Chains A and B, each alone.
Chain A
Amino acid sequence: MKSLKKQRRIQVIIVAAIALALSTALIGYAMRDGINFFRSPSQVVAEPPTASEVFRIGGLVEDGTLVRGQGETVTFAVTDGGASVPVSYTGVLPDLFEEGQGMVGTGKYVNGTFVATEILAKHDETYMPKEVVDALKEQGVYQDPNETDS
């Protein structure tokens, strides 16, 4: 009786250990495609990533660069104050997407243009993605929205 119970417990622990090892291996495997590094426009210009790498870029939509209403592809430039990168995106932009506002895009850097597959803008008028805030701070152009917003 006692030994059977013990045997069962050992088996359960072995199964759990195998599952944990398997999940760790899977996590490691999935991390190769599943993670996207964040790059600020300055970093992208300084060391352009390869055209095959999917990464995220974030910053402010540069004033006067947003071209919408010219077909299904929208173009604009994203800037962190230090450098600016042209972006093209095919699709319907999020609601709060405007010039001078923060955005984060996921996509690839092909021939000097960031081809975005996904664009995120803020969810409400005071929120700005943390990465964008950090990128702007690095360039010394960040302003606290609580001080500037009405």
Chain B
Amino acid sequence: MIAELGHFALILAAMVAVVQAIVPMIGAHKGWDGWMAAAVPAATTQFFLTAFSFSALTYSFVVSDFSLRLVVENSHSLKPMLYKVSGVWGNHEGSMLLWVLILTLFGACAAWFGGNLPPSLKARVLAVQSSVAVAFFAFILLTSNPFLRMGIPPMDGQDLNPLLQDPGLAFHPPFLYLGYVGLSLTFSFAVAALIEGRVDAAWGGWVRPWTLAAWVFLTIGIALGSWWAYYELGWGGYWFWDPVENASFMPWLLAAALLHSAIVVEKRESLKSWTILLAILAFGFSLIGTFIVRSGVITSVHAFANDPERGVFILMILAVFTGGALTLFAARASAMQAKGVFGLVSRESALVANNVLLAVSCFVVFIGTIWPLVAELAFGRKLSVGAPFFDAAFTPFMVVLAIILPIGAILPWKRAKLNRAVKQVVPAAILAFLIAALAWTLQTEKTILAPVGLALGIWVVAGSALDLWSRCGRGDMASRLRRLTRLPRADYGKAVAHFGLGVTMIGISAMNAWQIEDIRVAQVGERFEVGAYEIELASVDQVQGPNYYSTMARMNAYRGDRLVAALTPEKRVYPVAKMPTTEADIDNGFLRDIYLVIGDAQDDGGWAVRTYIKPLANWIWAGAILMGVGGLLSLSDRRYRIAAGAAKAGGGGARPVAAE
């Protein structure tokens, strides 16, 4: 009964979405206030209906209603409650329902918090957002209905893939979707502005918080996924350049670019057409990502129920929305005359460079991702594009980005003097050089990679600190410190996010260059040396968990005679899903991780053991968290809380530029 109500609510929501896509659009065109205003209650209704539908599915999972096919295939009565709930989106149908739920949530948020938008723009934004929703409602109802019943309900379910039974992965998809789908609202704003024929500073101000929110969620979602891959898969890697990973990384790169170019629109009324284009492309890449993940056209280690029919449907959605928006863009390009002029050396130029680099690196990732498909269709060759490709083609752009970031961030708007900015960041350069030199002399294996990566990271980190410091004027220490506490949160947000990027860079370079890997057969009681540590295989026992059996090793890591960590890596077998998993155990440290994996039993009574010492591993995710925190700080800035978008200061800039 509950499931039928959920299904029914979903159909109703789809019908509301159709109305919301048409009525406000006509209203905005004709100037009828009533028709425009209809968008707000429609968006609210649409959201609550979808939320009800989602709750109905969640309820079916929670009470283990095995008359639903989806529950049978992805749940089990013995599964812990957290994974019963996360099982809702651990499969294709349920995750698509989550996808539209978030889509309607963003629509509803625009309706609720968009009070200061001009009525016609608001009506159009909500109508466009709703037309995207119509497409996805149709997709779910026609190809992926989550509410299908079983003819003969079985006694128990087939369990969720054990790899997915993990807290990291429980929250990975919701965050990722909040990011992916959040970009839909940016897209709606871009298309609405194109229909309206007006892109101004205020528009930049409205779009930026939504882009920022989507980017923050996407950052957290990607970081969670990479963290999960690191500790759950037992391969010791954190990023595999897998097509599905790239599918989330491409919108992230474009959202980061959009974030920066929207600032230029807001402050300086420049780069308008470029920003609109980015907004369209960013959501386009979200859709491409959905297509790659769901259609299975490109081989990936991520397995989703692959179905060509679904792939074609998503490809059609992609073609209609991106194609339509780009056509509109071409037709209306003239409406987007830039107002602000800027000098060759200026923050605008630096942000242009940022945008070009991010967009081009996204292009590189895109080519690498779809190349297997192109090669198969065009040349009939089966191939895969591996990490060496991305290392060689993607990294150079990130290096250049890191080099210009601290200087660009400190440049004033409009016109700047390069030597003055360079003088300000000299301390950061000196620090970066010193630490790189130190790393070079201390490292045992002479690789140039790590010191260079480290230097770049330090340069970005120190540069963002200097950026913040330079905003405090030129007075004495006390007055500067006083001003530091009163800086707008957006300034803190910027500095913290850039700081985080530097931290991630440091983590990646250190881990790539200095990690130690050891694979061997160890007897119980044996002690062996790995790097600066001694690892002991103390015992191996058979243990039973709530819904699995486990082979659990007790291992100790010593440094000299001191016990550093007692770890218990496991091999588990989930009998219901008939699936074994490897549970690595990791001792997380500030400067290094000790990462242990237990492998096969050997005929001579020993065990295969894999040990990694990973320097600065946690810095990778710590940096991502800092980036997210930076985004949130910026989002909580006073001007968004009090007068979002109301400051229509064209050309001038609402933020005091203390560095000038």
A interface, CB within 8 angstroms of B: 1, 4-5, 8-9, 11-12, 15-16, 19-20, 22-23, 26-27, 29-31, 33-38, 56, 68-72, 74, 90-93, 95-96, 106, 120, 122-127, 129-131, 134
B389 touches A4 (CB 8 A): no
Determine chain A's interface SS by DSSP, over half rule.
mixed
Query: How far is B651's CA from A1's CA once the two chains are assembled, in angstroms?
Result: 15
Q: A104 to nearest B CB, angstroms?
A: 8
B519 touches A34 (CB 8 A): no
A15 touches B600 (CB 8 A): no
Residue of A nearest to B362 (CB): A23
**B357 contacts chain A at the CB level, 8 A cutoff:** yes
The interface residues of chain A lying within 8 Å CB-to-CB of B361 are 23
The interface residues of chain A lying within 8 Å CB-to-CB of B578 are 125
Query: How far is B287's CA from A63's CA once the two chains are assembled, in angstroms?
Result: 42
Which residue of the partner chain, among B299, B352, B397, B610, contacts A92 with CB atoms under 8 Å?
B610
A33 touches B384 (CB 8 A): no
**B521 contacts chain A at the CB level, 8 A cutoff:** yes
A127 touches B299 (CB 8 A): no
A70 touches B301 (CB 8 A): no
Query: How far is B602's CA from A72's CA once the two chains are assembled, in angstroms?
Result: 9
Query: How far is B299's CA from A1's CA once the two chains are assembled, in angstroms?
Result: 53
- The interface stretch among B205-213, B364-372, B464-472, B508-516 is B364-372
**B474 contacts chain A at the CB level, 8 A cutoff:** no
Which residue of the partner chain, among B161, B296, B388, contacts A30 with CB atoms under 8 Å?
B388
Which residue of the partner chain, among A9, A16, A27, A35, contacts B386 with CB atoms under 8 Å?
A35
Q: Mark out the residues of chain B between 577 and 602 whose CB falls within 8 Å of any chain A CB in the assembled complex.
A: 577-582, 597, 599-602
Q: B251 to nearest A CB, angstroms?
A: 18
A35 touches B371 (CB 8 A): yes
Q: A113 to nearest B CB, angstroms?
A: 18
Q: A31 to nearest B CB, angstroms?
A: 6
Query: How far is B603's CA from A1's CA once the two chains are assembled, in angstroms?
Result: 82
Residue of B nearest to A121 (CB): B301
**B549 contacts chain A at the CB level, 8 A cutoff:** no
**B647 contacts chain A at the CB level, 8 A cutoff:** no
The interface residues of chain B lying within 8 Å CB-to-CB of A106 are 386
The interface residues of chain B lying within 8 Å CB-to-CB of A38 are 382-384
**B422 contacts chain A at the CB level, 8 A cutoff:** no
**Contact string, B329-365, partner A, CB cutoff 8 A, digits 1/0?**
0000000001001101000000011001100110110
The interface residues of chain B lying within 8 Å CB-to-CB of A127 are 303
The interface residues of chain A lying within 8 Å CB-to-CB of B357 are 19
A-B contact count (CB 8 A): 137
B368 touches A95 (CB 8 A): no
Query: How far is B384's CA from A23's CA once the two chains are assembled, in angstroms?
Result: 19
A30 touches B521 (CB 8 A): no
The interface residues of chain B lying within 8 Å CB-to-CB of A72 are 519-521, 608
A15 touches B303 (CB 8 A): no
Q: Mark out the residues of chain B between 217 and 231 whose CB falls within 8 Å of any chain A CB in the assembled complex.
A: none
Determine chain B's interface SS by DSSP, over half rule.
mixed
Residue of B nearest to A15 (CB): B356
Query: How far is B271's CA from A11's CA once the two chains are assembled, in angstroms?
Result: 13
Contact A31-B360, Cβ < 8 Å, known A12-B352, A95-B582, A125-B578:
no
Contact A69-B602, Cβ < 8 Å, known A92-B582, A95-B579:
yes
The interface residues of chain A lying within 8 Å CB-to-CB of B603 are 69-70
B397 touches A23 (CB 8 A): yes
Residue of B nearest to A127 (CB): B303
**B163 contacts chain A at the CB level, 8 A cutoff:** yes
Residue of A nearest to B352 (CB): A12
Query: How far is B351's CA from A12's CA once the two chains are assembled, in angstroms?
Result: 11
B303 touches A122 (CB 8 A): yes
Residue of B nearest to A28 (CB): B393
**B381 contacts chain A at the CB level, 8 A cutoff:** yes
B610 touches A91 (CB 8 A): yes
Residue of B nearest to A150 (CB): B578
Which residue of the partner chain, among B163, B363, B383, contacts A23 with CB atoms under 8 Å?
B363
The interface residues of chain A lying within 8 Å CB-to-CB of B375 are 35
Residue of B nearest to A22 (CB): B360
The interface residues of chain A lying within 8 Å CB-to-CB of B371 are 31, 35
The interface residues of chain B lying within 8 Å CB-to-CB of A131 are 299, 382
**B323 contacts chain A at the CB level, 8 A cutoff:** no
Contact A92-B608, Cβ < 8 Å, known A27-B364, A68-B600, A122-B303:
yes
Q: A115 to nearest B CB, angstroms?
A: 15
Q: A83 to nearest B CB, angstroms?
A: 17
**Contact string, B72-100, partner A, CB cutoff 8 A, digits 1/0?**
00000000000000000000000000000
The interface residues of chain A lying within 8 Å CB-to-CB of B581 are 95
A30 touches B392 (CB 8 A): yes
Q: Which 8 A-B pairs have the closest CB atoms?
A: A34-B389, A30-B392, A38-B382, A92-B599, A127-B303, A30-B393, A123-B303, A34-B388
CB-defined A-B contacts under 8 Å, sample of 16: A8-B344, A11-B344, A30-B391, A31-B385, A34-B368, A34-B387, A34-B391, A35-B385, A37-B381, A38-B382, A38-B383, A56-B384, A123-B163, A124-B577, A129-B299, A130-B296
Query: How far is B240's CA from A106's CA once the two chains are assembled, in angstroms?
Result: 14
B389 touches A69 (CB 8 A): no
A124 touches B303 (CB 8 A): yes
B363 touches A26 (CB 8 A): no
The interface residues of chain B lying within 8 Å CB-to-CB of A26 are 364, 392-393, 396
